[in-house]
Structure 1
């Protein structure tokens, strides 16, 4: 009972206190001075909150627009850098300081030069000095961290000498055949690289001309369907040397003898037209004529070019070629002309000195056409951008080159897989142009190139590779991050899985027979 009376008394006192508080606040508003104070306090609070929200919004907007804040409080336009790697989850160091994010990630940096290092336990570091410009966005999505210790295993053994071993453009299919058994090919699907196996596909032997002996096979190119590829078979028949072009089919059902069906001459050379397995460019090395042809049908075009010394094609209507019969002009002694023909439009791009070798290539990058032309008699190659759109003062004028890459006696030119880079090479000497950053890199690779290789080739969109001293060497476009990888025979080169998690080379087994070896680039 006493407890109940105490609770009731406490409740009464609480109610009285609350009532007094209400009364006091009511009395405050009856006091003009206190009412003004409360109103000023509310207005000031709302203003401060508004300023804070506006300031925060401004900061967020500036960060979104590429601005960042230095330690002294200044606001600068920053650059955004994306960094990815294989494998992902690697630590990122900038100027020796580890950052809070890992690959794949991004960071805003003030303008300046930074030393990046991407590191993961068990792998070799990837390093690059990066120049950041305010408002710029750079993507380094190509770093591959190769293991410190490589593990190579035998995946497929052959019984005799290989006639050829070739990889499709998407890198999914690897197809090979032995010299002693051309009617059987081994097909490997590299997407199943964890459980790699080969399928034996039989080919009707009547497609091949009966030969006394076969000297060599050469893979010319793949079609765009990832199924067919063109080969050149050199052999001896009835005591005479001969050759024939064969379209091989990894499925085995559409193998065609192009030489027989098109009745080609011994001096004819063929390439796919628009990467289609039944359409061809036919070039006669004796008459220097270039035409088109189709298996079992009319030619895809009426193209007929004469006096052609070298050519490069793109799509179904573009031909870049070298001729001593210039368009609408008079041949000049000791020189040849580079001509670009695209559909019904033609233009002479440049005159070059007569040489033993001409180097040509053409590609599109970010909606623009780029053409590369040179000769072994020059000290570099010319690069043209959208040459057919050039405005010329006179019909006899030629487009001005966009760039000139300096290299003594260029022997090879090629665009990278993503068309961003152009490489001109003479053995180990390189001139590389970056279309995106407008930079040129001139260098000599330190590793000798094992014959029969003549030059490095693009591994992907950013790296070159070749075999030196019996081992695979890869390096980036500007000759940094060089890595020496697994052993391999140079006559077969190196192949990579579609995801670049594995590399494949041919090496000699203990018995001397070739074997296909798989090297893991990702640690288990």
Structure 2
């Protein structure tokens, strides 16, 4: 028997050890290959070792062909591509749509995501939803982007009437919403108008400012039950300079008086007005119910201003910057962190701070260091994108944008035809007017696209899925103005 033969036992043992060794070698080699593959290493057909990166590409609508440096990748959106680290020109093409393109660098062992491209139809075809006898008044949209209020042209000595459109079902007739006349002061003097300040998160109430000859007043308008609307000035028997909703709800409001710079809270449930909790405020921006940032000249050196943060009755100095005619002030949360900025049009750079309260509350530190700074002078407006990933500052035809996710900064000049201030359309695009036409472009200034002619300063209002937008057309020869709906879809993507 073999197991009794010492020679055969040694041979068998040797074979087992060799087998185990070869198996271990194969496992080790496979592990090394998998690790290097996971780190982006690859081998070309010529035997050269290359380092790869991972690229994710998507678009709205999907089904666009993916080109890199002009070469079709045999893939359509959405796709995952493993590519050698290099500089690329990414282009998306789809029949019936304009091309989308962007240059980028794919680093070794890295992941690049371009999942935000919006394809614009080659031909946009506006359809008339309603024709008005003249230019409508205020046009404003709920935060959910489901309802649009369009102010009807006012008759002589007439009141304010809105047409409420359901953007989810434009086949419905618009619902008239009438602002009660007893809430208005001097509404029949002529020249008065409504301006939207902010919407409540309930998508039902909107804070309006009524401007008239000799002054203004603030009104909370209930679009679902207009008779329940109320006048802030009448309720608290004062004439505030500015009013804001506290925590985006209507039960309490911040009331600001520029004379003395006082800021106080009014309770709309019982009409009680609390004593001012801040003085010397030049500008402010509330967040939630117990947090706000503000700008003041108190305790500031000559020619300087101070940005401060107020939280639950505690006050902290954020930064100091030169005086200017316009104030830049905003804050938002992104990926669990708070980001702040405070500056003025007199600054040539605006600092961005990450979680500054963590340092300002620490008695051993008490100073917040900036995360980054946007170099731009004469800033007119600062704002976060709707997904709060980007911070944009506009100064006339110049833009500076900071990407909080990738820590990148973009500075560029907008198209010369762009008029006025732009606003964020969504998380990655800005929207404005260009030569009497609505226009959009990406956060980095690329992919500038004109849409349709319009007279509306806000350019266009999109539905929830960004598949259709409403805008006001150019006045006709008889002075009539059409409210138009335009699909951002083409061909087979259009609803059946």
Q: Classify the secondary structure of the residue corresponding to 1:389.
A: helix
What's the CA shift for 1:409? 1.2
Partner residue of 1:505? 471
In structure 2, the CA distance between the partners of 1:389 and 1:53, relative to structure 1 (3 Å rule), is closer
Q: Distance in 2 between matches of 1:395 and 1:356?
A: 35
Q: Distance in 2 between matches of 1:54 and 1:332?
A: 68
Q: How does 1:391-430 map to 2 (within 5 A)?
A: 398-430=367-399
Residue from 197, 216, 228 that aligns with 1:220? 197
Partner residue of 1:177? 151
Partner residue of 1:207? 183
Q: How does 1:299-378 map to 2 (within 5 A)?
A: 304-326=277-299, 331-378=300-347
What's the CA shift for 1:136? 2.5
Q: Is the 8 A contact 2:252 2:265 kept in 1?
A: yes
Q: Distance in 2 between matches of 1:458 and 1:402?
A: 23
Q: Distance in 2 between matches of 1:197 and 1:243?
A: 33
Q: Is the 8 A contact 2:316 2:360 kept in 1?
A: no
**Which blocks of at least 5 consecutive residues in structure 2 are unaligned?**
1-9
What's the CA shift for 1:354? 2.6
Q: Is the 8 A contact 1:170 1:498 kept in 2?
A: yes
Q: How does 1:47-62 map to 2 (within 5 A)?
A: 59=33
What's the CA shift for 1:350? 1.6
Partner residue of 1:132? 106
Partner residue of 1:141? 115
Q: Classify the secondary structure of the residue corresponding to 2:233.
A: helix
In structure 2, the CA distance between the partners of 1:336 and 1:37, relative to structure 1 (3 Å rule), is closer
Q: Is the 8 A contact 1:81 1:107 kept in 2?
A: yes
What's the CA shift for 1:400? 2.5
In structure 2, the CA distance between the partners of 1:514 and 1:106, relative to structure 1 (3 Å rule), is same
Q: Is the 8 A contact 2:120 2:489 kept in 1?
A: yes
Partner residue of 1:12? none
Partner residue of 1:4? none
Residue from 250, 268, 278 that aligns with 1:277? 250
Q: Which runs of 4+ in 1 moved over 6 A?
A: 36-54, 298-302, 391-397
What's the CA shift for 1:58? 5.9
Q: Classify the secondary structure of the residue corresponding to 2:450.
A: strand
Residue from 402, 405, 410 that aligns with 1:433? 402
What's the CA shift for 1:133? 2.3
Q: Is the 8 A contact 1:167 1:175 kept in 2?
A: yes
In structure 2, the CA distance between the partners of 1:446 and 1:204, relative to structure 1 (3 Å rule), is closer
What's the CA shift for 1:84? 0.7
> For 1:406-435, what per-residue CA distance to the aligned partner results, in whole angstroms no more than 9, with x for missing partners?
112111111111111111111111111111
Name the stretch that deviates more: 52-61 or 332-341: 52-61
Partner residue of 1:187? 164
Name the stretch that deviates more: 103-112 or 175-184: 175-184
Q: Classify the secondary structure of the residue corresponding to 2:87.
A: strand
**Which blocks of at least 5 consecutive residues in structure 1 are unaligned?**
1-35
Q: Distance in 2 between matches of 1:56 and 1:187?
A: 64
